[in-house]
């Protein structure tokens, strides 16, 4: 029902290897390099940092995030 | 079970490139240009602003919003 | 498993162009003209007004409501 | 996996035109004449009354109730 | 993926006509004679009594319980 | 997508006739002999005991537990 | 829609026999050796320890965790 170009999941796939930010429903945000992603929005990040209310609270060499917990994904992480 | 014209998802697709407003279940609203959308109501906005209780709280160059968090979408953003 | 006549979704479809009322799970109600509807109960209203606890709280030229948030739909809006 | 006779949905269908009571998860109960019903338990009632904690709180000429909000349906409304 | 004998739904079906107890997620329990049941765990009881915190709170000639609200079903109601 | 040996459901099936412990999302735990189980994780226990916060609170000759309420299952019940 | 290499579930499968950490939505974390996993993210751990707010609260010889309760999985458990 949609062309390849207009499909949101494809936009995420273009971000492979880039820094992205994943906001979960509980308010936590994970930033890291996108290594893998599927149609359920399950995502694998490497070199990830977890933020909560603006503070870094944990770091992960590789983390798998289950898609159904995700609120939004920002694809344009600004340089710090 | 419905004609092309009467399908709600088609109404959203007509809004590609236009400013729309997406209200999430937690009360947050994102306004931006609709770049991509699928049948799960996953949506990609560019030049997006997040509002909460009437205040601008964040800006995003490009943001992917997971469809199952969405309450409603307004297609007729009034000029400010 | 049911005839055309007895299917609830068909009853909604007969209301195209009529004023209906949509109650969401969070207590909000939207009244407007039914423009589109699908089998997930996604619905598009035009000239819509949002009510909360009896008060008009917002107006929308065109609004898309995601079906999974809906509690009930009244098809017989009384004249005001 | 079950015969026609033993399928719960069929029991509801036998109630077409009869007075039934629908209890929602939020404690509200709707009583009215069953006009339509499908396999998702979406139901349409006519001449419906809404009760909350024993009090009549609203009346509806025709109301569509989304099946996923339903806790139980009583098929044997006692005469008042 | 399982033989007829080991499938849990089949165990429920063997209870047709017997007294069973259905515990809902909200803590309520319904006891009655199992008349119908399907693969979603939708169940119809006749001569049912509703218990809450140990007290009888209501009686139903025939009640349809939507499967997704069910926590557990006891098949071995002890004699009172 | 996985071999017979590595599939989690198969591990549960190997426990037929053994004592297992089922923790529900609401904190309750049921221990009993596994009699039946399916791919939705619906499970039937015989000679079951319900524990809450470390106390035995109920006993069941045979109980059917709906899979979607389950948090985890321990397959290695230690001897008491 | 994705190549074998980029699929997140495949990343988990590579961890068979390794120590992983599973964070549940309720804040509990289980660490143990990954023995089995499927496409629903159901997972079996052996020699598992449960942590809550930084404290070890329980140990399990073998535990089956239902996938829909999982928030994230860390694949890179640091040596203690």
Query: What subunits touch chain C, counting only 3 or more CB pairs under 8 A?
Result: B, D
- Which ranges in chain C belong to alpha helices (H)? 8-13
Percent helix, strand, coil in chain F (nearest 5)? 10, 50, 40
3-state SS, one letter per residue, for chain E: CCCCCCCHHHHHHCCCCCEEEEEECCCCEEEEEEEEECCCCCEEEEEEEEEECCEEEEEEEEEEECHHHEEEEECCCCCC
pLDDT at residue C20 is higher than 50: yes
Contact in structure between D32 and D46 (CB atoms under 8 Å) = yes
Q: Which of G34, G60, G58, G56 is nearest to G48 (CA)?
A: G60
Assess whether pLDDT exceeds 90 at residue A27: yes
Q: Where are the alpha helices (DSSP H) in chain G?
A: 8-13
Query: Closest Cα of chain G to A21: distance in Å?
Result: 15
Between F37 and E6, whose confidence is greater?
F37
CA of A3: how far to CAs of A7, A12, A44, B16, C42, in Å? 7, 15, 26, 13, 22
Can you give the residue range of the structural domain that contains C16? 8-74
Residue A58 has pLDDT above 90, yes or no: yes
Q: Would the CB atoms of E71 and F65 count as touching at under 8 Å?
A: yes
Please, are residues B42 and A12 in contact by the beta-carbon 8 Å criterion?
A: no
Total domains in chain A come to: 1
Which G residues in the span 13-72 are in contact with A, Cβ-Cβ below 8 Å?
Answer: 25, 41, 67-68, 70-72
Indicate which CATH number applies to the domain containing G23: 2.30.30.100
Reported as a single tens digit per residue, the pLDDT across B51-77 is 999 999 999 999 999 999 999 999 977
3-state secondary structure of G76: coil
CA distance C51 to D9: 35
Q: E6 or B10, which is more confident?
A: B10
The per-residue pLDDT for range G32-73, each reduced to its tens digit, is 999 999 989 999 999 999 999 999 999 999 999 999 999 999
Most B CBs within 10 Å: which of A8, A43, A78, as the mutation test of the B interface?
A8
Q: Which two tokens stand for residue B7?
A: 């399908």
Per-residue pLDDT reduced to its tens digit, C49-75:
999 999 999 999 999 999 999 999 999
Q: What is the pLDDT of residue G33?
A: 96
DSSP label of A79 = P
At residue C30 the predicted structure's pLDDT band, cuts being 50, 70 and 90, is very high
* F touches G, CB cut-off 8 Å, minimum 3 pairs: yes
Instruction: Give the pLDDT score at C80.
Output: 52
Whether G80 maps to a domain, the answer reads: no
Triad A73, B72, C31: Cα angle to 5°: 175
How far is residue G25's CA from residue A69's CA, in Å, rounded to a whole number?
A: 9
Any domain includes D19? yes
What confidence score (pLDDT) does residue E3 get? 43
Q: Which of E31, E42, E69 to mutate against chain D (most D CBs within 10 Å)?
A: E42
Confidence of residue A1 (pLDDT cuts 50, 70, 90): very low
pLDDT at G56 (0 to 100): 97
Q: Does E34 reside within a domain?
A: yes
Does F79 map to a domain?
no
Instruction: Mean pLDDT check: name the lowest of A14-28, B19-33, C2-16.
Output: C2-16
Contact, C18 vs C79, CB < 8 A? no
User: What pLDDT is attached to residue A3?
Assistant: 44
Which member of A8, A68, A72 has the closest CB to residue B38?
A8
Q: Establish if E79 belongs to a structural domain.
A: no
Across the interface, whether the CB atoms of A7 and B38 are under 8 A apart is answered: yes
**What pLDDT, on a 0 to 100 scale, did the predictor assign at position G14?**
85
Kindly state the tokens that stand for G30. 């289980």
The rounded Cα E72 to chain-centroid distance in angstroms is 8
C-alpha distances in angstroms, F30 versus A9, C29, D58, F61?
A: 41, 42, 43, 12
3-state class of D72 per DSSP? strand
* CA E37 to the chain's CA centroid: 9
Q: What is the pLDDT of residue B2?
A: 41
Q: What is the mean pLDDT of chain C?
A: 88
Q: What percent of chain B has pLDDT over 90?
A: 70
Helix (H) or strand (E) holding A13: helix A8-13
The verdict on E9 touching D (C-beta cutoff 8 Å) is yes
ipTM at complex level: 0.88
Q: pLDDT at position E29, please?
A: 97
Q: What is the pLDDT of residues D16-73, one digit of tens each?
A: 999 999 999 999 999 999 999 998 999 999 999 999 999 999 999 999 999 999 999 9
Reading chain F (80 residues) residue by residue, the pLDDT tens digits are 444 456 888 888 889 999 999 999 999 999 999 999 998 999 999 999 999 999 999 999 999 999 999 999 999 776 55
CA A33 to chain centre: 8
């Amino acid at each position: 029902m949609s062309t390849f170009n207009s499909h949101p999941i494809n936009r995420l796939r273009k971000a492979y290897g880039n820094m992205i930010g994943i906001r979960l429903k509980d308010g936590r945000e994970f930033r890291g390099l996108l290594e893998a992603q599927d149609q359920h929005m399950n995502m694998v990040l490497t070199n990830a940092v977890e933020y909560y209310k603006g503070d870094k609270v944990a770091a992960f060499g590789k983390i798998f995030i289950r898609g159904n917990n995700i609120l939004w994904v920002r694809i344009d992480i600004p340089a710090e």
